[in-house]
Structures are given as C-alpha cells and as structure tokens.
C-alpha cells in the first residue's frame, strides 16, 4: 500500500513539471502555447513541441489566451 502511495506522489510531483516545461511553439508567428490551448490544438503545420526555455530563446512570445 505504501508503495502505491509513493507512486501517486511521484506522479503528482512530476506531471505539472512536464506540462509547465513543454510548450507548443508556432514557428511562423513565434508564439508559444500550453499543450492544452485551443490554438495549440488547431496549429498543426507550423507548430513544434519544444521546451519553454527554447521557445523563449528563439524569441517566442507567450500566447495571450493561455499565457504560454
Ligand atoms: Zn495559447
């Protein structure tokens, strides 16, 4: 039982980190989105999934809808 509890804690700790770090970056408009953003889902041809740091390094601007 304790093992499962530890697993759940691990998931709870690492999942938000994964979602916060990976963004959908639009190479055409140079805007980056949270993976769950409507615009990120709509964007298929010009968008790549990269690290938030990399998106900023490329001159990316956070999306006004989701906040990047
Ligand atoms: Zn967005």
Convert the pLDDT of each residue in 18-62 to its tens digit.
555 899 999 999 999 999 999 999 998 999 999 999 999 999 999
Give 15 Cα–ligand 1 centroid separation in angstroms.
19
How high is the pLDDT of residue 15? 65
How high is the pLDDT of residue 37? 96
Give 39 Cα–ligand 1 centroid separation in angstroms.
5
Give 5 Cα–ligand 1 centroid separation in angstroms.
34
CB burial readout 16-54, b (16+ within 10 A) else e? eeeeeebbbbbeeeebbbbeebebbeebeeebeebebee
Positive or negative: CA dihedral 39, 42, 44, 45:
negative
How high is the pLDDT of residue 18? 53
How high is the pLDDT of residue 13? 74
Higher pLDDT pick, 64 / 16: 64
Give 62 Cα–ligand 1 centroid separation in angstroms.
7
Give 24 Cα–ligand 1 centroid separation in angstroms.
8
Q: What is the pTM of this model?
A: 0.69
């Amino acid at each position: 039982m304790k093992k499962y509890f530890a697993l759940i804690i691990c998931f709870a700790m690492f999942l938000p980190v994964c979602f916060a770090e990976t963004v959908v970056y639009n190479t055409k408009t140079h805007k980056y989105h949270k993976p769950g953003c409507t615009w990120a889902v709509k964007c298929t041809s010009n968008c790549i999934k990269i690290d938030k740091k990399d998106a900023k390094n490329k001159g990316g601007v956070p999306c006004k809808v989701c906040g990047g």
